[in-house]
Structure 1
Amino acid sequence: MGVFDPIKGFGVTFSTMFRKVVTEEYPEVKKIPAPRFHGKHQLNRHPDGLEKCVGCELCAWACPADAIFVEGGTNTEDERYSPGERYGMDYQINYLRCIGCGLCIEACPTRSLTMTNEYETADDNRRDLIFTKEDLLAPLLPGMEQPPHPMRLGNDEQDYYVRGPELARQAGVPEGETVETGPEEARR
């Protein structure tokens, strides 16, 4: 050990003392995530308010962490939740198990399930981290009606899936605003 070793050690300390601080002041200052960030899941709606989820359970099968539970139900003419013959009656995502991989999003044939940029899902209660269908459903935008209700945009499910963008324009959804995400105010 040399005489100048302590001075070398203090040299490192002094050189870092005057650098710019890189600490983020979270939660006071929240960082905006990247556009393709995999955050909280969202179950989307059609322009008239019907749910896009048809209860096919493909998202649950694709999930490597077994974090998704879906139980399909059958639509009736009196109670219609989606344009198809089935809908997601019970839908749960367990965020204690979810690894945020996005395989469920890729497996969804109707683009019912997407991921938002919301990243604050931490909680001090384990039960609150199991999100139900009510927690995951996209908010109703202006012009949408709370299901159950009859199909408003056509006579069969082909009208919803084949002519989707045209129906959105007819329903009054502004250009450039998708039905999946809605306006920034509605996501909060």
Structure 2
Amino acid sequence: MSKVPLFLGPIKGFGVTFSTMFKKPNTELYPEVKTPTAERYHGRHQLNRHPDGLEKCIGCELCAWACPADAIYVEGATNTDEERYSPGERYGRVYQINYLRCIGCGLCIEACPTRALTMTNEYEMADDNRADLIYEKDRLLAPLEDNMLAPPHDMFPGTTDENYYRGDVTHAVPEQRTTPVDEGEESQ
């Protein structure tokens, strides 16, 4: 190898700088122009719902156990006949994801047995308050679509929890009566 004289070292470095001075800059106009993300981009988490509005999360805590960063906290509770939030016997009463710890690996998604937890394409989660980066269940739940009824409510008539988990319930809850049925109406 030929040795470069000591005084030519800085000149060689300036040569690299000089050669890049005339290249077209690669500037992104974010946030004015937002580039769409890839279809399978791992962004913010979302807790999904069944077509009638019941939550898919059964509070099993498998996502929390699978998380290598310990960013997920789940506290399950038992459904009752008066208050039913999911089709099974349990639901996730408390669900938190700490985005200060989350590394976006997706292992929680793989661990979920009911496909309750998925990741969206939303990536703008920056905040100036650390407490606001701990997402609670109300910020993680998918919004109610048309014809969905907010839980708690009963399962779709004539179904069991197995019908929900197999995907047999594909339609929303029928309109519920707001006035009690008169005995004269029942006989007609």
Please state which band the TM-score falls in when normalised by the shorter chain.
0.7 to 0.9
Using structure 2 for the length normalisation, give the TM-score: 0.81
Using structure 1 for the length normalisation, give the TM-score: 0.81
8 Å contact from structure 2 (residues 48, 117) kept in 1: yes
RMSD: 2.0
Matched residue SS, 1:105: helix
- Residue 43 and residue 25 in structure 1: after superposition, are their counterparts in 2 closer, same or farther (change >3 A)? same
1:20 counterpart letter in structure 2: K
Paired residue total: 166
Quote the Cα distance in structure 2 between the aligned partners of 1:123 and 1:98.
15
**1:70 aligns with one of 71, 74, 80:** 74
1:167 counterpart letter in structure 2: V
Runs of 4+ in structure 1 off by over 6 angstroms are none
Which residue number corresponds to residue 102 of structure 1? 106
Q: Say whether 1:129 aligns with 2:133.
A: yes
Runs of 5+ in structure 2 lacking a partner?
1-6, 174-188
Quote the Cα distance in structure 2 between the aligned partners of 1:96 and 1:10.
40
Runs of 5+ in structure 1 lacking a partner?
173-188
- Residue 60 and residue 10 in structure 1: after superposition, are their counterparts in 2 closer, same or farther (change >3 A)? closer
- Residue 153 and residue 159 in structure 1: after superposition, are their counterparts in 2 closer, same or farther (change >3 A)? farther
Q: Say whether 1:91 aligns with 2:95.
A: yes
**2:28 aligns with one of 24, 29, 42:** 24
Which residue number corresponds to residue 181 of structure 1? none
Sequence identity, in percent?
72
Once the two structures are TM-superposed, the CA of residue 22 in structure 1 deviates from its matched residue by 1.0
Quote the Cα distance in structure 1 between the aligned partners of 2:102 and 2:18.
43
